């Protein structure tokens, strides 16, 4: 799978792309009526992102803006998002109503997910203590140390490879209001060097008392993640568990079923998997009969077999 569409909403608000410098400004939506996407071009940018953001701050009543999407910045395949973060932090006092922020909303045609260069994003969480939703796309150069944030309810990190230091940072963060956590762990080929032990703080749930939806997905080590989740204390309070998009085989699914009961879940998402039909049927019989919605769509989970019998399986989103 590749990312072919931009975000269509954020914070339950429809996304709207702030127009270029030559476009008319007389028909802009209400400042609090949409999730504003401010974007430039990765290649041959006629206007740098920072300049587009400066125009946005002049043309829109930013005191009413509730959701902001950062799209492409110039040469994102080679240039980190540092200047983007700096501009947002410098403008923090102009956004008292901001509740949702997403960094790096780029599709494949603009920049492959593994090419997107990020930076230390923790200054944004410090600058905007009332944020309720925060997300980013791209794992290269991504830094997110442990933070304390009392308002954040949703955290999403979409990558083809999530650095272990970031996983450990999230795992050690105090996020008492967090209800939804979505980590795309990825593959070592693109920087995803975490191990199951790095997830310990998340799986214990000790710092996440309100967590109800947990996604640990798009992982090359999906079997090991599933086995760890099977005994994780946090699972008992979850409503949604998502282990999709990764290299989940019968070993991982069997370990999951052999662990603690999952019949309390509202949904178990395992789409993009490498399960045999008997295991798929066992999952259905165990959970669907208890009223759990189960997504077992194999989707784009293709595998390649070499002449020597070696089988290659892939995460849904890598490069």
Instruction: Look at 310 and 169; give whichever has higher pLDDT.
Output: 169
Going by pLDDT thresholds of 50, 70 and 90, the confidence category of residue 123 is very high
Phi/psi at 246 (5° precision): -115, -170
pLDDT at residue 198 tops 90: yes
pLDDT over 90 percentage in the chain: 91
pLDDT in tens, 207-251: 999 999 999 999 999 999 999 999 999 999 999 999 999 999 999
Residues of the chain with CATH 3.80.10.10: 144-319
**For range 127-132, the mean pLDDT:** 99
pLDDT at residue 73 tops 70: yes
| Weakest mean pLDDT among 49-53, 68-72, 296-300 | 296-300
Going by pLDDT thresholds of 50, 70 and 90, the confidence category of residue 307 is confident
pLDDT at residue 1 tops 70: no
With contact defined as beta carbons under 8 Å apart, do 11 and 67 qualify?
A: yes
pTM of the predicted protein model: 0.97
DSSP letter, residue 213: E
Other CB atoms within 10 Å distance of the CB of residue 254 = 18
With contact defined as beta carbons under 8 Å apart, do 278 and 74 qualify?
A: no
pLDDT at residue 14 tops 90: yes
CA 80, distance to chain mean position in Å, is: 18
Superfamily of domain 144-319: Ribonuclease Inhibitor (3.80.10.10)
């Amino acid at each position: 799978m590749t990312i072919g569409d931009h975000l269509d909403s954020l914070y339950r608000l429809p996304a709207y792309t702030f127009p270029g410098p030559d476009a008319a400004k007389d028909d802009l939506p209400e400042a609090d009526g949409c999730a504003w996407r401010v974007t430039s071009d990765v290649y041959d940018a006629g206007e740098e992102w920072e300049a587009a953001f400066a125009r946005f701050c002049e043309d829109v009543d930013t005191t009413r803006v509730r959701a902001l999407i950062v799209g492409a910045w110039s040469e994102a395949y080679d240039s980190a998002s540092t200047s983007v973060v700096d501009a947002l932090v410098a403008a923090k006092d102009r956004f008292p109503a901001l509740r949702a922020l997403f960094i790096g909303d780029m599709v494949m045609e603009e920049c492959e997910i593994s090419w997107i260069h990020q930076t230390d994003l923790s200054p944004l969480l410090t600058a905007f203590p009332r944020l309720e939703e925060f997300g980013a796309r791209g794992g290269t150069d991504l830094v997110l140390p442990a933070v304390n944030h009392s308002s954040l309810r949703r955290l999403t990190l979409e990558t083809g490879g999530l650095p272990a230091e970031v996983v450990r940072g999230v795992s050690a963060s105090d996020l008492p209001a967090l209800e939804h956590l979505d980590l795309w762990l990825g593959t070592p080929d693109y920087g995803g060097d975490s191990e199951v032990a790095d997830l310990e703080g998340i799986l214990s749930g000790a710092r996440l008392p309100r967590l109800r939806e947990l996604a640990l997905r798009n992982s090359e080590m999906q079997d090991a993640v599933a086995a760890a989740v099977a005994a994780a204390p946090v699972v008992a309070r979850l409503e949604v568990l998502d282990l999709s998009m990764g290299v989940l085989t019968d070993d991982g699914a069997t370990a999951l079923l052999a662990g603690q009961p999952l019949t309390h879940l509202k949904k178990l998402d395992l789409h993009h998997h490498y399960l045999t039909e008997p295991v798929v049927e066992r999952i259905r019989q165990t959970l669907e009969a208890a009223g759990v919605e189960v997504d077992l769509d194999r989707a784009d989970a293709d595998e390649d077999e070499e002449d020597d019998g070696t089988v290659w399986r892939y995460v849904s989103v890598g490069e």
